Amino acid sequence: MRVGVLDIGSNTGHLLVVDAHGGAAPLPAYSFKQPLRLAEHLDGDGEVSQTGIDALTSFTAEALVIAEDKGCEDILGFATSAVRDAGNCDDVLAHVQERTGVMIDVLSGEDEARLTFLAVRRWFGWSAGRLAVFDIGGGSLEIAGGADEAPDVAWSLPLGAARLARLHFSAGTADEDTVRGLRREIRAEIARDAGHLLRGGPPDRAAATSKTFRSLARICGAAPSAEGTLVPRTLPLAELRRWIPKLVATGPDELAALPGVSPSRTHQIVPGALVAEACMDIFDLTELEICPWALREGVILERLDQISVLGQKA
């Protein structure tokens, strides 16, 4: 079957059209995305502004037309941190559904971590053993770990790269005190619940997903996306530590010129790097393997599993 997955993230709205059936990897057929920046369209009361609502509605309407044109039988729409945490979350999604007919579900932080873990488990397989997974989004950081397809532990923290950039780097630059204070805040937040994962013992494999991790890995020497998804890519802690002072001292134009960095995300690179460094340091990991599958694939895989179960019962 052909499915359209509508991912409303804190940074980007992304429609991924995939050909999928049980027992096979979801095959991407078409991709359409727009930089919505919902995490930055929050007003003083923590609600999505009218500008953000209009942008989301317009994107969803356009994505629906594309999904229909591409022959999608179903559309799976979901929203993550920026919409989930907004004070007017229900009103925003009701407005989108009224104008477009598309119902967008809100994933909890735990579900986001769980579904991302499922995707990474299916990508690496059972040979990965006990698996730890980290995902830095625009609004939140997800952490999950376990030895099965469902993680033993899964939780979400308000440490997304766009959120931290908005709260700490609104002036566009970061002095030494700002960076040090943010570093301290990030590490305290992660360490508070680190025991959830650490109690299970060291993971056999530690993986990372998301644009932020991919960009950092590319900066640190990983192969470009043009070489394909099957090329192994890693983010080494030592190399990331070497780069962080350079990233802090680099202006937006120079950051945008780095490999793997989108001009629209230059302000998120430093906070994202600090979160990635903290994850590896606190959980005693020398590197993270970059997994090309993430939340979208997890949503598709779970839907296929549900269809398979219903088919067996019929």
DSSP 136-186: E-SS-EEEEEESSSS-SEEEEES--HHHHHHHH-TTS---HHHHHHHHHHH
Q: What pLDDT score was predicted for residue 230?
A: 94
What average pLDDT does range 133-159 have in this prediction? 96
What CATH topology corresponds to 2-106? Nucleotidyltransferase; domain 5 (3.30.420)
- For the chain, give every residue range classified as CATH 3.30.420.150: 110-295
Helix (H) / strand (E) containing 246: helix 237-249
Structure confidence at residue 10 as a pLDDT band (50, 70, 90): confident
Q: What pLDDT score was predicted for residue 175?
A: 81
Q: What pLDDT score was predicted for residue 37?
A: 87
- For the chain, give every residue range classified as CATH 3.30.420.40: 2-106
**Class of domain 110-295 as given by CATH:** alpha beta
Q: What pLDDT score was predicted for residue 43?
A: 87
Q: What pLDDT score was predicted for residue 176?
A: 87
Amino acid sitting at position 182: L
Whether residue 20 is predicted with pLDDT greater than 90 in this model: the reply is no
* Chain mean pLDDT for the chain: 93
What average pLDDT does range 2-15 have in this prediction? 93
Structure confidence at residue 292 as a pLDDT band (50, 70, 90): very high
Whether residue 233 is predicted with pLDDT greater than 90 in this model: the reply is yes
Q: What pLDDT score was predicted for residue 171?
A: 64
Whether residue 191 is predicted with pLDDT greater than 90 in this model: the reply is yes
What average pLDDT does range 222-238 have in this prediction? 96
Q: What pLDDT score was predicted for residue 243?
A: 97
Sheet of 287-290: strands edge to edge?
153-157, 141-146, 131-136, 205-209, 287-290, 234-236
Q: What pLDDT score was predicted for residue 61?
A: 97
Among 40-44, 68-72, 262-266, top mean pLDDT goes to 68-72
- Here the tokens at position 39 are 């995490």
248 in Cβ contact with 138 (< 8 Å): no
What average pLDDT does range 23-46 have in this prediction? 89
What average pLDDT does range 55-80 have in this prediction? 96
- Return d(Cα 177, Cα 268) in angstroms, integer: 18
Q: What pLDDT score was predicted for residue 239?
A: 98
Whether residue 314 is predicted with pLDDT greater than 60 in this model: the reply is no
